[in-house]
Amino acid sequence: MGTAGKGGRVALATESPVPSDIACAHSVSPVNIGIIARGLGLDESEYDCYGKCKAKVKLSAYQNRVGDESKGEGKYVVVTGITPTPLGEGKSTTTVGLAQALGAHYDELENKVVACVRQPSQGPTFGIKGGAAGGGYSQVIPMEEFNLHMTGDIHAITAANNLLAAAIDTRIFHESTQKDEALFNRVVPLKKGKRVVSKSMQMRLERLGLGDKPIEEFTQEDMARAARLNIDKSTVTWRRVLDTNDRFLRAVTIGQGPAEKGYNGETGFDITVASEIMAVLALTTSLGDMRERLGRMVVASDMDGNPVTAEDLNIAGALTVLMKDAIEPTLMQTLEATPVLVHAGPFANIAHGNSSIVADQIALKLVGDGGYVITEAGFGADIGFEKFCNIKCRYSSYKPDCAVIVATVRALKMHGGGPEVVAGRPLADEYLNEDIELVRSGCSNLMRHIGNIKKFGIPVVVALNAFASDTQAEQDVIKSASMEAGAFSVQVSNHHALGGAGALDLAGAVQQACSSPEKDFKFLYPLDLPIKSKIWTIAKEIYHASDVKYSEEAEKKIELYTKQGFDKLPMCMAKTQYSFSDNAKLKGAPTDFTISVDDVRASVGAGFLFPILGKMPTIPGLPTRPCFFDIDIDTETGDIVGLS
């Protein structure tokens, strides 16, 4: 266990060239997490240690500070990115590096900076991508604990999601084999002369107008209405999940055992982070709110076309119980001992791809007036940032003080017409040598993102994530283009190579932007617009599309959701992250294109509809030689090797 240096900090001894991520991560000893927690002003009753390097922060850390206006709340900075290459442009690394710069290099900000990041899925960790703790000298540590299990939140979601799935199929099965009265007597049993009415059942009875009627006076019809959900099997949208890259589970037929024969059906598995429960976790604001959202989750329609919810299945309480620890963010630290709250990691395409509201709430209170919370939005700004504003901020009521957009010379060259970038294959020469023209041409992508962000009424700082192969001339092109597009500031940042010391300029620009008076945060659309108008607003203002086409299926769903009253929810567009359009091959800043909405689905509990543009993979596969080939443990020391 390391000891805190000056002001609780850890001094980095950076090496050049930058060693492997795990070597950087091991270059310092983490500070005991209790020291980090106390530095933030947390009382011992407000957190639970999980080993020496992780702590769960209780929601009371926020609630205890709600009344206390003297301390105020910090500045709220969101980190987003340009349209990325498949290699990623360093949003997490920049989020962590910026937090290190502010928290460990400005004396007055010590204990007043928190980074809020997402928990990664274990699927990619063992698959193609590896871990997600940042990179180089800007990382969350211990990176092994960050990438593996952490404090079990994703596992809790797997358990909750799959309990609900089992409950749906079993309910259909039992309803099909029991007569109304027998079913009612099982669901609302008589115990010692008294009917046992669960909380969910009481809610259902009230909804059916049977809340006050004595059960002994129930007619056969009352019993049937109360006990029978009449789920239309063909409408079940709830799938099972695993936090594993298992492509063979994408489409499966279940119920093929002899005892279930005749009740089989086609379904599939998603990766756990694609579960609606993950989206609920990310968007909830309190335990009570989570109980309600989990109950509102719609899993199917009944034979009359009414939505069937988790509450109807009497399972919302049990799901909340399974999620009661997961709602607490996990406190960890950067390589320079800046506090990090790790919490939630909803899929960035079929969900909104942002870390949790709860973590941001706690962080903003803990850093207080004059402090900074750096939070991260997934994918490019056309997706993650748009959803951050229109979905996350709508539910949290927070307004960002500034946005940081991460750009790289590499990605802008790709947008300027450079050859395809493929993970695992060597980069083409254009990416390794100076090519001013490619950069200049690719700046269209960055410039459009800057313009888009400004529509939300906040200043935008461009973080040019430096690579050793970048040239001054290339960087200068990006600087001019950024300012021309209306950026508040543009800064070259070397946090990968140098940690917080490499991001001091960026940190200074962010502080200035946050203090800038020119701020007027606004949503892009009001919720009471019809579904198609909300989609069109996003398509026109953010993607710069010329038209939107709807499939027959999409039209049908829009009609259904409007009828069911879900048309007042915000839109969570499920679109490729590799283009402004729905065609991953259209780089730069395309115009004159039509987007195609193939389907519209609902995450009613999380609180959004998600129009689907093209095919969205919801569970990845494993390559021939997955990351797990190299991952092993030194059985003498217990040290993990080969994790990247």
| 632 is a contact residue toward its own copies (CB under 8 A) | yes
Nearer to its own copies, 133 or 506 (CB): 133
Sole window of 83-91, 130-138, 274-282, 623-631 interacting with its own copies (rule: CB under 8 A): 623-631
Nearer to its own copies, 593 or 628 (CB): 628
The correct pick among 471, 583, 628, 644 for binding its own copies (CB under 8 A) is 628
Nearer to its own copies, 197 or 529 (CB): 197
Nearer to its own copies, 200 or 494 (CB): 200
Q: Do residues 620 and 123 touch, judged by C-beta distance below 8 A?
A: yes
Nearer to its own copies, 63 or 551 (CB): 63
| 423 is a contact residue toward its own copies (CB under 8 A) | no
Rounded to a whole number of angstroms, the minimum distance from the CB of residue 566 to its own copies is 24
| 633 is a contact residue toward its own copies (CB under 8 A) | yes
For residue 634, the tally of other CB atoms under 10 A from its CB is 9
Residue 323 CA to residue 310 CA, distance in Å, equals: 14
Nearer to its own copies, 214 or 258 (CB): 258
Rounded to a whole number of angstroms, the minimum distance from the CB of residue 373 to its own copies is 25
Residue 505 CA to residue 489 CA, distance in Å, equals: 10
Please report, as residue ranges, which positions from 50 to 89 form the binding site for its own copies (by CB under 8 A): 50-52, 56
Please report, as residue ranges, which positions from 430 to 489 form the binding site for its own copies (by CB under 8 A): none
Q: Do residues 10 and 2 touch, judged by C-beta distance below 8 A?
A: yes
Rounded to a whole number of angstroms, the minimum distance from the CB of residue 421 to its own copies is 19
Q: Which region holds residue 426: left if phi is over 0, alpha if psi is between -120 and 50, else beta?
A: beta
Nearer to its own copies, 472 or 637 (CB): 637
Rounded to a whole number of angstroms, the minimum distance from the CB of residue 170 to its own copies is 4
Rounded to a whole number of angstroms, the minimum distance from the CB of residue 635 to its own copies is 4
Q: Which of 356, 394, 347, 345 is nearest to 534 (CA)?
A: 394
Residue 198 CA to residue 622 CA, distance in Å, equals: 44
Sole window of 35-43, 259-267, 349-357, 583-591 interacting with its own copies (rule: CB under 8 A): 259-267
Rounded to a whole number of angstroms, the minimum distance from the CB of residue 619 to its own copies is 9
Backbone angles phi, psi at 75, to 5 degrees: -75, 150
| 624 is a contact residue toward its own copies (CB under 8 A) | yes
Please report, as residue ranges, which positions from 36 to 55 form the binding site for its own copies (by CB under 8 A): 48-52
For residue 182, the tally of other CB atoms under 10 A from its CB is 13
Q: Do residues 291 and 320 touch, judged by C-beta distance below 8 A?
A: yes
Q: Do residues 172 and 233 touch, judged by C-beta distance below 8 A?
A: yes
Q: Which residue has the tokens 């200043």?
A: 459
Backbone angles phi, psi at 15, to 5 degrees: -110, 155
Nearer to its own copies, 18 or 287 (CB): 287
Rounded to a whole number of angstroms, the minimum distance from the CB of residue 198 to its own copies is 5
Rounded to a whole number of angstroms, the minimum distance from the CB of residue 27 to its own copies is 21
The correct pick among 133, 280, 281, 643 for binding its own copies (CB under 8 A) is 643
Please report, as residue ranges, which positions from 295 to 314 form the binding site for its own copies (by CB under 8 A): 314
Number of residues that bind its own copies (CB under 8 A): 90
Rounded to a whole number of angstroms, the minimum distance from the CB of residue 377 to its own copies is 27
| 35 is a contact residue toward its own copies (CB under 8 A) | no
Rounded to a whole number of angstroms, the minimum distance from the CB of residue 123 to its own copies is 9
Sole window of 262-270, 427-435, 558-566, 599-607 interacting with its own copies (rule: CB under 8 A): 262-270
Please report, as residue ranges, which positions from 157 to 216 form the binding site for its own copies (by CB under 8 A): 158-159, 162-163, 165-167, 169-170, 173-174, 178, 183, 186-187, 189, 196, 198-201
Q: Which of 471, 430, 348 is nearest to 91 (CA)?
A: 348
The correct pick among 19, 451, 614, 626 for binding its own copies (CB under 8 A) is 626
Please report, as residue ranges, which positions from 127 to 156 form the binding site for its own copies (by CB under 8 A): 148-149, 152, 155-156
Residue 297 CA to residue 485 CA, distance in Å, equals: 42
Please report, as residue ranges, which positions from 219 to 258 form the binding site for its own copies (by CB under 8 A): 240, 242-258
Residue 375 CA to residue 372 CA, distance in Å, equals: 10
The correct pick among 106, 263, 521, 525 for binding its own copies (CB under 8 A) is 263
For 433-467, letters b (16+ CB in 10 Å) and e give eebeebbbbbbbbbbbbbbbbbebebbbbbbbbbb
| 281 is a contact residue toward its own copies (CB under 8 A) | no
The correct pick among 264, 469, 515, 533 for binding its own copies (CB under 8 A) is 264
Beta strands in 228-313 (DSSP E): 240-242, 252-254, 265-267, 269-271, 298-301, 307-309
Nearer to its own copies, 167 or 574 (CB): 167
Q: Coil, strand or helix: which one is 351?
A: coil
Nearer to its own copies, 207 or 233 (CB): 233
Rounded to a whole number of angstroms, the minimum distance from the CB of residue 62 to its own copies is 14
The correct pick among 237, 285, 286, 564 for binding its own copies (CB under 8 A) is 286
Nearer to its own copies, 50 or 608 (CB): 50
Q: Which of 77, 90, 75 is nearest to 380 (CA)?
A: 90
Nearer to its own copies, 86 or 152 (CB): 152
Residue 375 CA to residue 392 CA, distance in Å, equals: 12
Q: What is the CA radius of gyration of the chain?
A: 25
Please report, as residue ranges, which positions from 303 to 362 form the binding site for its own copies (by CB under 8 A): 314-315, 317-318, 320-322, 324-325
Rounded to a whole number of angstroms, the minimum distance from the CB of residue 18 to its own copies is 16
The correct pick among 70, 234, 397, 635 for binding its own copies (CB under 8 A) is 635
Secondary structure of 58-82 in HEC code, one letter for each residue = CCHHHHHHHCCCCCCCCEEEEEEEC
Burial class (CB in 10 A: 0-12, 13-18, 19+), 322: buried
| 636 is a contact residue toward its own copies (CB under 8 A) | yes
The correct pick among 19, 268, 417, 614 for binding its own copies (CB under 8 A) is 268
Q: How far is CA 93 from CA 49, 63, 79, 127, 642, in A?
A: 25, 30, 10, 20, 20
Please report, as residue ranges, which positions from 507 to 536 form the binding site for its own copies (by CB under 8 A): none
> Residue 641 belongs to what H/E stretch?
strand 640-641
Tokens of 93: 């690394």
**30: which residues sit within 8 A by CB, 6+ positions away?**
1, 2, 52, 53, 141, 142, 333, 337
